[in-house]
Amino acid sequence: MRGVVDLGAVKAAADNAAKRAAAPAGKPAAAAGGQRVVIDVTEATFETDVLALSQQAPVVIDFWAEWCQPCKQLSPLLERLAEEYAGRFVLAKIDVDANPRLAQEFGIQGIPAVMAVLGGQLAPLFQGVVPEQQARQVLDQLVQLGEERFGLTGVVVDGAPAEAPDDAESEEEPPGDPLLAPADEALEAGDLDGAAQAFRNVLSDHPAHAEAKLGLINTELLLRTQGVDADKARADAAEHPDDVAVQTLAADVDILDGRADEAFARLVETVRRTSGDERNKARLHLLELFEIVGADDPRVPKARMALAGVLF
Protein backbone atom coordinates (compact mmCIF):
# COMPACT_ATOMS: atom_id res chain seq x y z
CA MET A 1 0.00 0.00 0.00
CA ARG A 2 1.53 3.27 -1.08
CA GLY A 3 0.73 6.95 -1.18
CA VAL A 4 -1.08 7.32 2.15
CA VAL A 5 -2.08 10.97 2.59
CA ASP A 6 -3.78 13.16 5.19
CA LEU A 7 -7.46 13.87 4.65
CA GLY A 8 -7.58 17.18 6.53
CA ALA A 9 -8.72 19.15 3.49
CA VAL A 10 -11.46 16.67 2.67
CA LYS A 11 -12.59 16.67 6.30
CA ALA A 12 -12.87 20.45 6.26
CA ALA A 13 -15.01 20.30 3.14
CA ALA A 14 -17.20 17.68 4.77
CA ASP A 15 -17.58 19.88 7.86
CA ASN A 16 -18.82 22.73 5.69
CA ALA A 17 -21.19 20.47 3.82
CA ALA A 18 -22.60 19.10 7.05
CA LYS A 19 -23.45 22.62 8.15
CA ARG A 20 -25.33 23.22 4.90
CA ALA A 21 -27.36 20.02 4.82
CA ALA A 22 -28.68 17.39 7.18
CA ALA A 23 -27.80 13.74 6.63
CA PRO A 24 -30.31 11.91 4.41
CA ALA A 25 -32.86 10.01 6.46
CA GLY A 26 -33.28 7.12 4.06
CA LYS A 27 -29.90 5.39 4.50
CA PRO A 28 -28.42 5.33 8.00
CA ALA A 29 -24.76 4.43 8.40
CA ALA A 30 -25.54 1.47 10.64
CA ALA A 31 -28.34 -1.03 10.63
CA ALA A 32 -29.90 -2.48 13.76
CA GLY A 33 -27.56 -5.05 15.25
CA GLY A 34 -24.50 -4.01 13.31
CA GLN A 35 -22.73 -1.88 10.70
CA ARG A 36 -23.81 -2.15 7.08
CA VAL A 37 -20.83 -3.07 4.92
CA VAL A 38 -22.04 -1.18 1.81
CA ILE A 39 -23.12 2.43 2.33
CA ASP A 40 -23.92 5.45 0.17
CA VAL A 41 -21.92 8.51 1.22
CA THR A 42 -22.57 12.21 0.58
CA GLU A 43 -20.67 15.38 1.43
CA ALA A 44 -22.84 15.77 4.53
CA THR A 45 -22.18 12.24 5.82
CA PHE A 46 -18.54 11.91 4.77
CA GLU A 47 -17.04 12.66 8.18
CA THR A 48 -19.24 10.15 10.01
CA ASP A 49 -19.50 7.43 7.38
CA VAL A 50 -15.88 7.55 6.19
CA LEU A 51 -13.47 9.40 8.47
CA ALA A 52 -14.93 8.26 11.79
CA LEU A 53 -15.60 4.73 10.57
CA SER A 54 -12.05 4.45 9.25
CA GLN A 55 -10.87 4.34 12.87
CA GLN A 56 -12.48 0.89 13.15
CA ALA A 57 -12.02 -0.66 9.71
CA PRO A 58 -10.60 0.29 6.30
CA VAL A 59 -13.20 2.17 4.28
CA VAL A 60 -12.98 1.48 0.56
CA ILE A 61 -14.41 4.33 -1.53
CA ASP A 62 -16.00 3.54 -4.89
CA PHE A 63 -16.36 6.69 -7.00
CA TRP A 64 -19.05 6.02 -9.60
CA ALA A 65 -21.84 7.56 -11.67
CA GLU A 66 -25.04 6.21 -13.21
CA TRP A 67 -23.85 6.88 -16.77
CA CYS A 68 -20.53 5.05 -16.27
CA GLN A 69 -20.67 1.63 -17.94
CA PRO A 70 -17.40 0.31 -16.43
CA CYS A 71 -18.77 1.25 -12.98
CA LYS A 72 -21.61 -1.18 -13.58
CA GLN A 73 -19.01 -3.94 -13.86
CA LEU A 74 -16.81 -2.96 -10.93
CA SER A 75 -19.35 -1.81 -8.34
CA PRO A 76 -21.23 -5.14 -8.06
CA LEU A 77 -17.89 -6.95 -7.61
CA LEU A 78 -16.86 -4.60 -4.80
CA GLU A 79 -20.25 -4.93 -3.14
CA ARG A 80 -20.06 -8.72 -3.25
CA LEU A 81 -16.54 -8.70 -1.80
CA ALA A 82 -17.62 -6.31 0.96
CA GLU A 83 -20.32 -8.77 2.00
CA GLU A 84 -17.85 -11.66 1.79
CA TYR A 85 -15.21 -9.91 3.92
CA ALA A 86 -17.92 -9.41 6.57
CA GLY A 87 -16.77 -6.22 8.23
CA ARG A 88 -13.05 -6.44 7.63
CA PHE A 89 -13.61 -3.41 5.39
CA VAL A 90 -16.60 -1.19 4.59
CA LEU A 91 -17.49 -0.10 1.06
CA ALA A 92 -18.50 3.56 0.73
CA LYS A 93 -20.10 4.48 -2.59
CA ILE A 94 -19.83 8.10 -3.74
CA ASP A 95 -21.82 9.30 -6.76
CA VAL A 96 -19.52 11.87 -8.36
CA ASP A 97 -22.42 13.65 -10.07
CA ALA A 98 -24.28 14.13 -6.79
CA ASN A 99 -21.11 14.95 -4.83
CA PRO A 100 -18.81 16.96 -7.13
CA ARG A 101 -17.02 18.62 -4.21
CA LEU A 102 -15.83 15.27 -2.87
CA ALA A 103 -14.72 14.18 -6.33
CA GLN A 104 -12.75 17.41 -6.68
CA GLU A 105 -11.15 17.12 -3.23
CA PHE A 106 -10.00 13.58 -4.04
CA GLY A 107 -8.63 14.65 -7.43
CA ILE A 108 -10.83 12.21 -9.32
CA GLN A 109 -10.07 12.49 -13.03
CA GLY A 110 -11.85 9.37 -14.28
CA ILE A 111 -14.22 6.71 -12.98
CA PRO A 112 -14.51 4.12 -11.71
CA ALA A 113 -11.85 5.09 -9.20
CA VAL A 114 -11.27 3.23 -5.95
CA MET A 115 -9.48 4.58 -2.89
CA ALA A 116 -9.34 3.63 0.78
CA VAL A 117 -9.27 5.49 4.08
CA LEU A 118 -7.47 3.98 7.07
CA GLY A 119 -7.33 5.81 10.37
CA GLY A 120 -8.29 9.07 8.66
CA GLN A 121 -5.66 8.76 5.93
CA LEU A 122 -6.13 8.15 2.23
CA ALA A 123 -4.53 5.41 0.14
CA PRO A 124 -5.21 5.15 -3.63
CA LEU A 125 -6.07 1.59 -4.71
CA PHE A 126 -6.85 1.37 -8.44
CA GLN A 127 -8.65 3.07 -11.30
CA GLY A 128 -10.84 1.37 -13.88
CA VAL A 129 -12.18 -2.17 -13.91
CA VAL A 130 -9.83 -4.81 -12.46
CA PRO A 131 -10.09 -8.62 -12.37
CA GLU A 132 -11.55 -10.14 -9.22
CA GLN A 133 -8.25 -11.80 -8.30
CA GLN A 134 -6.44 -8.45 -8.42
CA ALA A 135 -9.18 -6.79 -6.37
CA ARG A 136 -8.88 -9.52 -3.74
CA GLN A 137 -5.11 -9.13 -3.54
CA VAL A 138 -5.42 -5.37 -3.07
CA LEU A 139 -8.12 -5.78 -0.41
CA ASP A 140 -6.08 -8.40 1.44
CA GLN A 141 -3.12 -6.02 1.53
CA LEU A 142 -5.41 -3.21 2.65
CA VAL A 143 -6.86 -5.22 5.54
CA GLN A 144 -3.39 -6.34 6.60
CA LEU A 145 -2.10 -2.74 6.50
CA GLY A 146 -5.09 -1.61 8.53
CA GLU A 147 -4.40 -4.20 11.20
CA GLU A 148 -0.62 -3.80 11.39
CA ARG A 149 -0.18 -0.05 10.95
CA PHE A 150 -3.44 1.39 12.26
CA GLY A 151 -4.74 -1.32 14.61
CA LEU A 152 -8.05 -1.60 12.75
CA THR A 153 -9.97 -4.67 13.92
CA GLY A 154 -13.03 -4.40 11.70
CA VAL A 155 -16.67 -3.60 12.42
CA VAL A 156 -19.49 -5.66 13.91
CA VAL A 157 -21.88 -6.86 11.22
CA ASP A 158 -25.38 -7.96 12.22
CA GLY A 159 -24.28 -8.44 15.82
CA ALA A 160 -21.28 -10.65 14.98
CA PRO A 161 -17.64 -9.54 15.30
CA ALA A 162 -15.58 -9.32 12.16
CA GLU A 163 -13.62 -12.49 11.62
CA ALA A 164 -10.28 -13.14 10.04
CA PRO A 165 -10.20 -15.80 7.30
CA ASP A 166 -10.18 -19.35 8.60
CA ASP A 167 -7.09 -21.54 8.55
CA ALA A 168 -8.06 -23.20 5.28
CA GLU A 169 -8.33 -19.85 3.51
CA SER A 170 -5.07 -18.69 5.04
CA GLU A 171 -3.27 -21.79 3.83
CA GLU A 172 -4.41 -21.07 0.28
CA GLU A 173 -2.68 -17.69 0.22
CA PRO A 174 0.59 -17.78 -1.70
CA PRO A 175 3.71 -17.61 0.47
CA GLY A 176 5.86 -14.51 0.47
CA ASP A 177 8.88 -14.22 -1.79
CA PRO A 178 11.70 -16.08 0.02
CA LEU A 179 14.23 -13.72 -1.53
CA LEU A 180 12.72 -10.91 0.51
CA ALA A 181 12.59 -12.83 3.79
CA PRO A 182 15.85 -11.33 5.20
CA ALA A 183 14.65 -7.82 4.41
CA ASP A 184 11.24 -8.52 5.94
CA GLU A 185 12.87 -9.85 9.11
CA ALA A 186 15.10 -6.80 9.36
CA LEU A 187 12.15 -4.46 8.93
CA GLU A 188 10.18 -6.30 11.60
CA ALA A 189 13.17 -5.91 13.93
CA GLY A 190 13.39 -2.18 13.15
CA ASP A 191 16.79 -2.61 11.48
CA LEU A 192 16.52 -0.23 8.53
CA ASP A 193 20.20 -0.48 7.60
CA GLY A 194 19.97 -4.27 7.58
CA ALA A 195 16.78 -4.17 5.50
CA ALA A 196 18.36 -1.82 2.95
CA GLN A 197 21.37 -4.10 2.60
CA ALA A 198 19.12 -7.14 2.24
CA PHE A 199 17.21 -5.44 -0.59
CA ARG A 200 20.53 -4.53 -2.25
CA ASN A 201 21.65 -8.15 -2.00
CA VAL A 202 18.54 -9.28 -3.86
CA LEU A 203 19.01 -6.64 -6.54
CA SER A 204 22.66 -7.57 -7.06
CA ASP A 205 21.53 -11.02 -8.22
CA HIS A 206 18.12 -10.03 -9.59
CA PRO A 207 18.36 -6.45 -10.93
CA ALA A 208 14.79 -6.52 -12.27
CA HIS A 209 13.18 -7.57 -8.97
CA ALA A 210 10.44 -4.91 -8.71
CA GLU A 211 9.48 -5.54 -5.08
CA ALA A 212 13.10 -5.40 -3.92
CA LYS A 213 13.63 -2.16 -5.82
CA LEU A 214 10.54 -0.56 -4.31
CA GLY A 215 11.44 -1.90 -0.87
CA LEU A 216 14.90 -0.37 -1.10
CA ILE A 217 13.54 3.00 -2.23
CA ASN A 218 11.07 3.09 0.65
CA THR A 219 13.65 1.96 3.20
CA GLU A 220 16.16 4.57 2.04
CA LEU A 221 13.45 7.21 2.40
CA LEU A 222 12.98 6.18 6.04
CA LEU A 223 16.73 6.23 6.61
CA ARG A 224 17.11 9.70 5.14
CA THR A 225 14.38 11.11 7.35
CA GLN A 226 15.31 9.47 10.66
CA GLY A 227 15.42 12.13 13.37
CA VAL A 228 14.60 14.93 10.91
CA ASP A 229 12.48 17.80 12.26
CA ALA A 230 9.81 18.32 9.60
CA ASP A 231 9.18 21.99 10.41
CA LYS A 232 12.90 22.79 10.32
CA ALA A 233 13.36 20.89 7.05
CA ARG A 234 10.63 22.94 5.41
CA ALA A 235 11.93 26.20 6.90
CA ASP A 236 15.41 25.42 5.56
CA ALA A 237 13.91 24.70 2.16
CA ALA A 238 12.11 28.04 2.14
CA GLU A 239 15.35 29.81 3.06
CA HIS A 240 17.52 27.99 0.49
CA PRO A 241 15.37 27.47 -2.63
CA ASP A 242 18.36 26.60 -4.85
CA ASP A 243 19.91 24.00 -2.51
CA VAL A 244 19.02 20.62 -3.99
CA ALA A 245 19.98 18.62 -0.88
CA VAL A 246 17.76 20.80 1.29
CA GLN A 247 14.86 20.62 -1.17
CA THR A 248 15.03 16.84 -1.57
CA LEU A 249 15.03 16.34 2.20
CA ALA A 250 11.99 18.59 2.55
CA ALA A 251 10.29 16.64 -0.24
CA ASP A 252 11.01 13.38 1.63
CA VAL A 253 9.36 14.83 4.72
CA ASP A 254 6.40 15.94 2.63
CA ILE A 255 5.95 12.40 1.32
CA LEU A 256 6.03 10.89 4.80
CA ASP A 257 3.48 13.45 5.97
CA GLY A 258 1.15 12.52 3.12
CA ARG A 259 1.75 15.76 1.22
CA ALA A 260 2.77 14.29 -2.12
CA ASP A 261 1.45 17.26 -4.10
CA GLU A 262 3.78 19.57 -2.17
CA ALA A 263 6.73 17.21 -2.56
CA PHE A 264 6.23 16.95 -6.31
CA ALA A 265 5.72 20.69 -6.78
CA ARG A 266 8.80 21.41 -4.67
CA LEU A 267 11.08 19.23 -6.78
CA VAL A 268 9.59 20.29 -10.11
CA GLU A 269 10.39 23.88 -9.11
CA THR A 270 13.89 22.80 -8.02
CA VAL A 271 14.48 21.21 -11.42
CA ARG A 272 13.32 24.45 -13.05
CA ARG A 273 15.68 26.58 -10.95
CA THR A 274 18.82 24.43 -11.28
CA SER A 275 21.03 23.06 -14.04
CA GLY A 276 23.64 20.42 -14.75
CA ASP A 277 24.35 17.75 -12.12
CA GLU A 278 22.23 19.47 -9.49
CA ARG A 279 19.25 19.51 -11.80
CA ASN A 280 19.72 15.83 -12.56
CA LYS A 281 19.89 14.98 -8.85
CA ALA A 282 16.58 16.72 -8.26
CA ARG A 283 15.02 15.02 -11.28
CA LEU A 284 16.14 11.53 -10.24
CA HIS A 285 14.96 12.09 -6.69
CA LEU A 286 11.56 13.13 -7.98
CA LEU A 287 11.35 9.97 -10.11
CA GLU A 288 12.03 7.89 -6.97
CA LEU A 289 9.21 9.64 -5.16
CA PHE A 290 6.91 8.84 -8.09
CA GLU A 291 7.71 5.15 -7.54
CA ILE A 292 7.00 5.40 -3.82
CA VAL A 293 3.60 7.01 -4.35
CA GLY A 294 2.75 4.69 -7.24
CA ALA A 295 1.87 5.20 -10.88
CA ASP A 296 -1.82 4.53 -10.16
CA ASP A 297 -2.02 7.68 -8.03
CA PRO A 298 -3.57 10.45 -10.21
CA ARG A 299 -1.10 13.02 -8.82
CA VAL A 300 1.84 11.20 -10.40
CA PRO A 301 0.94 11.67 -14.10
CA LYS A 302 0.04 15.29 -13.34
CA ALA A 303 3.47 15.86 -11.78
CA ARG A 304 5.19 14.03 -14.65
CA MET A 305 3.60 16.46 -17.07
CA ALA A 306 4.78 19.37 -14.95
CA LEU A 307 8.28 17.91 -14.91
CA ALA A 308 8.26 17.50 -18.66
CA GLY A 309 7.16 21.11 -18.97
CA VAL A 310 10.28 22.38 -17.22
CA LEU A 311 12.65 19.93 -18.88
CA PHE A 312 11.65 20.46 -22.52
Closest by CA position to 187, among listed 165, 219, 162, 160 = 219
Catalytic residue flag (residue 71): yes
Q: How far apart are CA 245 and CA 250, in angstroms?
A: 9
DSSP letters spanning 61-90: EEEE-TT-TTHHHHHHHHHHHHHHHTTSSE
Catalytic residue among 17, 71, 90, 260: 71
Q: For 90, list phi and psi in degrees, rounded to 5.
A: -115, 135
Catalytic residue flag (residue 177): no
Catalytic residue among 29, 68, 152, 196: 68
Q: How far apart are CA 93 and CA 109, in angstroms?
A: 17
Residues in CB range of 283: below 8 A, 6 or more apart:
267, 271, 307, 311
Closest by CA position to 224, among listed 245, 238, 201, 242 = 245
Q: Which residues are catalytic?
A: 68, 71
